[in-house]
């Protein structure tokens, strides 16, 4: 159950990001993400690309109190902001932010994960996933944002990989008007 503090912080960020057209995952996709985390009972999450911490708050608050989320953000200021905003949302103990390029940082991250959210450089989605793969638990849910028309060409190698019927995932697309999100479950 989402706490009042986290709900308040999400509402505040919702207003600010809408006003300033800041590309966060948003409410509609957020609802699907929360549902996936709850249904699959995910407790070990990793996020690639955090911006202001909107999706981090969404993910961490959907997990039970013992849940943990590692956020990887390339920009130092945005990494700091993500940590500050998640703390303000009452999620400080659940969220750890690592600043750096995910392709360099991922090999150094320890632990295994049952949830991953990929939302950084679109052409690198497949490389992120390949780096993450050894750390994914069976049944892990991997969500890739912005796989709709605008970035279709950039994310095509990723989509081909997760949709391969002989591959490692069961994958489906969620459509949201002008964009889409790919949800893949590790077999
Ligand atoms: C679309 S925003 C993320 C939005 C966020 N997930 C949300 O919904 O609230 C993309 C973020 O990815 C970060 N980024 C881009 N390339 C990256 C990389 N190689 N490693 C880590 N973060 C990266 C950017 O600095 C930016 O903050």
Answer whether 13 contacts ligand 1 (Cβ < 6 A): no
Cα distance between residue 99 and residue 72, in whole Å: 6
Arithmetic mean of pLDDT, 163-175 = 97
State which of 51, 83, 109, 144 you would mutate to test the pocket of ligand 1, scoring each by most atoms of that ligand within 8 A of its C-beta.
51
Answer whether 102 contacts ligand 1 (Cβ < 6 A): yes
**What's residue 77's pLDDT?**
98
For 66, other C-beta atoms within 10 Å of its C-beta total: 8
pTM: 0.97
Q: Which atom of ligand 1 is nearest to the CA of 51?
A: 27
How far, in Å, is the centroid of ligand 1 from the Cα of 35?
Answer: 22
Angle between helices 152-163 and 125-132 (to 10 degrees): 30
Answer whether 59 contacts ligand 1 (Cβ < 6 A): no
Is the pLDDT assigned to residue 106 strictly greater than 80?
yes
Angle between helices 76-88 and 4-19 (to 10 degrees): 140
Can you list the domains of the chain with their CATH numbers? 4-186 (3.40.50.150)
Buried b vs exposed e over 5-22: b needs ≥16 C-beta within 10 Å?
A: ebeebbeebeeebeeeee
Cα distance between residue 35 and residue 174, in whole Å: 13
Angle between helices 54-62 and 4-19 (to 10 degrees): 150
**What's residue 178's pLDDT?**
86
Cα distance between residue 133 and residue 14, in whole Å: 32
**What's residue 76's pLDDT?**
98
Q: Whose CA is nearest to atom 2 of ligand 1?
A: 51
Answer whether 144 contacts ligand 1 (Cβ < 6 A): no
Q: Whose CA is nearest to atom 27 of ligand 1?
A: 51
The two three-digit tokens of residue 115, written as one number: 């949830």
How far, in Å, is the centroid of ligand 1 from the Cα of 166?
Answer: 30
**What's residue 172's pLDDT?**
97
How far, in Å, is the centroid of ligand 1 from the Cα of 74?
Answer: 7
**What's residue 89's pLDDT?**
97
């Amino acid at each position: 159950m989402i706490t009042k503090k986290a709900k308040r912080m999400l509402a505040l960020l919702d207003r600010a990001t809408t006003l300033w057209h800041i590309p966060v995952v948003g409410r509609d996709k957020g609802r699907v993400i929360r549902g996936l985390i709850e249904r699959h009972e995910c407790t070990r999450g990793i996020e690639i690309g955090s911006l202001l911490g909107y999706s981090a708050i969404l993910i961490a608050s959907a997990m039970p109190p013992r849940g943990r989320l590692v956020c990887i953000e390339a920009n130092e200021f945005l990494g700091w902001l993500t940590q500050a905003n998640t703390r303000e949302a009452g999620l400080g103990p659940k969220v750890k932010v690592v600043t750096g390029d995910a392709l360099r940082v991922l090999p150094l991250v320890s632990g295994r994960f049952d949830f991953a959210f990929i939302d950084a450089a679109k052409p690198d989605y497949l490389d992120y996933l390949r780096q993450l793969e050894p750390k994914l638990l069976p049944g892990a849910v991997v969500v890739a944002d912005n796989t709709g028309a605008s970035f279709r060409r950039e994310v095509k190698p990723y989509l081909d990989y997760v949709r391969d019927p002989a591959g490692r995932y069961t994958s489906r697309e969620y459509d949201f008007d002008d964009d889409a999100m790919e949800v893949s479950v590790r077999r």
